[in-house]
Structure 1
Amino acid sequence: MRRGAMGVGLFLAVFFLVFRPAYAQEAKGLAPGWLSLDSSVGLIDKKLADAKAPLEKALGISISGFLDSSYTWSSNRPGFGNDDDISLRVFDKDHNEIVFNHLNLTLEKPEKDWGVGLKLVADFGRTAELLREATLWGSKLQVPGAGSGGEPSAELREAFVTFTVPIGAGLQVKGGKFVTLMGTEIISAPGSPNPNISRSYLFGFAIPFTHTGVLFSYPVTSIFTLMGGPVTGWDNPRDNNRQPSFHGGFTLTPAEVFSFTASTMIGPEQRHHSGRNRITTSGVATIKPISALTLFLEYTHGHEDKVTASLRDGTWHGFAGIASYDWTDRFNTALRGEFFKDSDGARLGGNIPGTHKDVTVGEITLTGAYKLTEKLLGRVELRQDWADERVFQKGNTRSDKNQTTLALQVIYTF
């Protein structure tokens, strides 16, 4: 899947065309742009939308998704045997390869028709492979060869139903497998890419990706919503210790220009050890001082009992900030900076060379994005990572305290 023809074709087609000016009539909705592909690819956008509309109406569901292909180059040129993964990356691990990351398919039915809502999100490609590696499905659903490159490039990210109990303002109930409430960044959704191509350390190592269970949500007031419920655990559809965890939080939106979400995850996550709790808390502020600028500020803290090899407790925490600015309705830049401290090796220990126990890492990332059409997005990114220990793989046998990467990405949403 890494070098799939679909990914290569999409990537090369767009990036060879991106530098060709288009002077034809621009698509309605976006201002004219010198790099616009509205007169060519934009016609495909319209044909797909026209073809999808009657199908959605007939089925009574919303159908959406996206294609994502990228290329990442690391200055460290990592390589150890057959492993050329870029150190401490989440989805952009592959050095010097054009990668078909993602085919996403999302099906959603609102509650209003049946009184019960439904959402299914399926992922295919390299990202799906990495998501499946992180998801503890349990022995009955384990794939032969898992853990050694044997995972299939397909994953069921979300599958849940919703309904609203007519109590007060309405108590919404969501049951099934769903993405976490925690953190700023998300696993990409149709029409909602993250501000940057790469993910932060906080996204990859400080919080979970998904949960399986029941989540209750209640709007206490027009600006304050409470959420919470029992889940099987952290990226764990099948509970590994017969002890449920709690996942919940609240959202406060006192004004259009400011919102704050706090969320937590509490419970045992170690296999067969129900008394060793993991507690993670995340706070995210979203600030929009002017229409073109959005600021995200996140602090996350975690602690787990007896999690290290020597049965010591583990603690981790970090702070990240993102500034995203829309220069025009086509062009955006996003700057992200963060630090992440893993005091006891509980979160990074198995992902870095050597036996470092106390590691602090940081990064600063600049991403430029341009809408070639309403549905086609091209992005370029420069990222600098650093650490207080030699945790970044360099070449075949060495390691370094620094790592620089350059990435290109194309996303087509349908």
Structure 2
Amino acid sequence: MTYRAFFTLGLLLTAAAAAAQTAPPAQPDSVAAVPAASLTSYGFLDGYYGYDFRHAATNQRPGFLYSHNRQNEFTVNNAVLGARYDDGRVRGALGLHAGTYVSANYAAEDPVLKHLYEAYAGFRPFRRAWLDVGIFSSHIGFESALSKDNWTLTRSLMAENSPYYEAGARLTYEVSPKLTLTGLVLNGWQNIRENNQAKALGTQLQWKPTAKLLLNSSTFYGNEQPQDSVRRRRYFHDFYASYAATGRLSFALVFDVGQQQRGAGGGKADTWHAGSLFVRYRFTDHWTAAARAEYYSADHGVIISSSLPAATAADVRLKGASLNLDYSPTANVVWRVEGRLLTARSPLFEQRHGRQADSYGNLTSSIALSF
């Protein structure tokens, strides 16, 4: 099945799920009573230490890792401070952040903008809908930029190499308490500043048919090359499902597939796909463990090595696994320890004495505070 078929499938899933819901009785668009205005503040701090086995003489982890990307160094992955406003009809948010995640993942952004974690304003154009414009978290993926919200401490390869944030306009519509649809017009694939005269499009469907099961389908379409470069259309579909089997045991399955043109006369498009399986078990109110198995496959290293790969560039084939142990002494603090191993089909990882290896292992520990 070609990627265009996957992309079309995502759009059809959106329409089919919307049609499958029983529409509630029609109500007037106006809101009878405006709730009291609400302004809340929030903060998050993730301090960590990482150690890479057989590491090269550098404190930098492999270039395709952006969160917790430093080793043998005590530092901060992400420190966030912000405020949100929501009175039921109007809402907005402004959050600032700094840390090694920001330095790595926002390296190409304008220095004035790179420290904006989120900055958007929105209102209800009609009941059960929101229209927001600005900078906000990505509509793609199971994992977020805040480690406290993720099952594992470090991010999967697929999360690290798909958007964490976006800039544009999004229209969110709550079809029912179980189904939410979102359409987006964006500057591009994880970029705040526009790099050409084209706009990207995105969709998201989130459906919760039962209290235990959540299904998500997200798509992206756009040309992500600079204005003076040959146009290369990018198609992408992200799917994930999370299931709470019991009050203690949960599972999540994530699958991404994308395709990008090679340009005029470039022949076959470059395709990448990735998958992850997560298992989480809560032993007590304070102790939780999680495991992850994953793979990442990219023709000519598209996206993970370069957004504009040469036809002669090597393919990237990666597999990995991780094991996570969390301790939460209180609801807003979590101490996490994770061991991770990645293997490649060809020598890809730099080690000491200038050697290249086909395997890579690390340990990472973090204490995160949220308020």
Per the normalisation by structure 2, the TM-score is 0.83
1:166 aligns with 2:120: no
Name the CA distance, whole Å, in 2 between partners of 1:316 and 1:78.
Answer: 28
Describe the SS at the equivalent of 1:198: coil
Q: Pick one of 60, 76, 80 that aligns with 1:85.
A: 60
Counterparts in 2 of 1:98-177, with a 5 A limit?
Answer: 98-112=74-88, 115-133=89-107, 136-137=108-109, 141=110, 155-167=115-127, 170-177=128-135
1:394 aligns with 2:369: no
1:193-238 CA deviation, whole Å, 9 max, x = no partner?
A: 3111211100112x21211111111122332222112111012222
- The gaps in structure 2 that reach 5 residues or longer are 1-36
Distance apart, 1:379 and its partner CA: 1.0
- The gaps in structure 1 that reach 5 residues or longer are 1-58, 144-151
| CA RMSD across the alignment | 2.5
Q: Which residue of 2 aligns with 1:244?
A: 199
1:380-408 CA deviation, whole Å, 9 max, x = no partner?
A: 11111111111111114111111111111
Identity across the alignment (%) = 23
Name the CA distance, whole Å, in 2 between partners of 1:248 and 1:368.
Answer: 34
Name the CA distance, whole Å, in 1 between partners of 2:206 and 2:331.
Answer: 31
Q: Which residue of 1 aligns with 2:28?
A: none
1:244-295 CA deviation, whole Å, 9 max, x = no partner?
A: 0101121111101111010011010010147321111100101111111221
Distance apart, 1:60 and its partner CA: 4.4
Distance apart, 1:307 and its partner CA: 6.5
Structure 2 CA distance for partners of 1:60 and 1:380, relative to 1, 3 Å: same
* Runs of at least 4 residues off by over 3 Å: none
Name the CA distance, whole Å, in 2 between partners of 1:304 and 1:85.
Answer: 29
Say if 2:195 and 2:226, in contact at 8 Å, map to a contact too.
Answer: yes
Say if 2:299 and 2:315, in contact at 8 Å, map to a contact too.
Answer: yes
Describe the SS at the equivalent of 1:344: helix
Counterparts in 2 of 1:310-329, with a 5 A limit?
Answer: 313-329=269-285
- Code of the aligned partner of 2:140: M
1:57-104 CA deviation, whole Å, 9 max, x = no partner?
A: xx941111122111111112123xxx4322232222212111122221
1:275 aligns with 2:231: yes
Q: Pick one of 38, 62, 70 that aligns with 2:40.
A: 62
- Code of the aligned partner of 1:173: L
Say if 1:319 and 1:339, in contact at 8 Å, map to a contact too.
Answer: yes
- Code of the aligned partner of 2:43: G
Q: Pick one of 362, 370, 379 that aligns with 2:319.
A: 362
Name the CA distance, whole Å, in 1 between partners of 2:124 and 2:306.
Answer: 42
Name the CA distance, whole Å, in 2 between partners of 1:286 and 1:176.
Answer: 29
Relative to total residues, which structure has the larger strand share, 1 or 2?
A: 2
Name the CA distance, whole Å, in 1 between partners of 2:313 and 2:59.
Answer: 21
Q: Which residue of 2 aligns with 1:347?
A: 303
- Code of the aligned partner of 2:359: N
Q: Pick one of 62, 70, 74 that aligns with 1:94.
A: 70
Structure 2 CA distance for partners of 1:274 and 1:216, relative to 1, 3 Å: farther
Name the CA distance, whole Å, in 2 between partners of 1:160 and 1:211.
Answer: 11
Name the CA distance, whole Å, in 1 between partners of 2:133 and 2:76.
Answer: 31
Describe the SS at the equivalent of 1:275: coil
Structure 2 CA distance for partners of 1:98 and 1:164, relative to 1, 3 Å: same
Say if 1:120 and 1:159, in contact at 8 Å, map to a contact too.
Answer: yes
Name the CA distance, whole Å, in 1 between partners of 2:343 and 2:263.
Answer: 25
Describe the SS at the equivalent of 1:127: helix
Structure 2 CA distance for partners of 1:307 and 1:123, relative to 1, 3 Å: farther
Describe the SS at the equivalent of 1:242: coil
The number of residue pairs the alignment matches comes to 330
Describe the SS at the equivalent of 1:263: strand
Q: Pick one of 273, 277, 286 that aligns with 1:330.
A: 286
Say if 1:209 and 1:234, in contact at 8 Å, map to a contact too.
Answer: no
Larger CA deviation: 178-187 vs 86-95? 86-95
